[in-house]
């Protein structure tokens, strides 16, 4: 089970990766961006569920 701090770190890391991918000119791999976006969505949902359980 992941801790909330670990989830926050993973969310921040994924957001930075998505920003980097979006800024790469003519090299954007749509499948990679989609995969990272889906992973970020899943982490955010897990994070919100854990925050709700604690809060």
| Crossing angle between the packed helical segments 30-54 and 4-23, to the nearest 10 degrees | 160
User: What is the reported pLDDT for 18?
Assistant: 85
Sorted by sequence, the CB contacts under 8 Å of residue 46 that are 6+ apart come out as 2, 7
This prediction has a pTM of 0.64
The count of other CB atoms within 10 Å of the CB of residue 43 is 20
Backbone angles phi, psi at 29, to 5 degrees: -100, 105
Q: What is the mean pLDDT of each run of 10 residues along the chain (55 residues)?
A: 83 88 70 85 90 77
CA of residue 30 relative to chain centroid, distance: 16
Q: Where in the chain are the domains?
A: 4-54
């Amino acid at each position: 089970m992941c801790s909330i701090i670990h989830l926050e770190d993973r969310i921040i890391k994924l957001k930075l990766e998505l920003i980097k991918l979006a800024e790469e000119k003519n090299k954007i791999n749509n499948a990679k961006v989609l995969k990272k976006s889906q992973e970020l969505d899943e982490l955010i949902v897990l994070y919100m569920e854990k925050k709700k359980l604690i809060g």
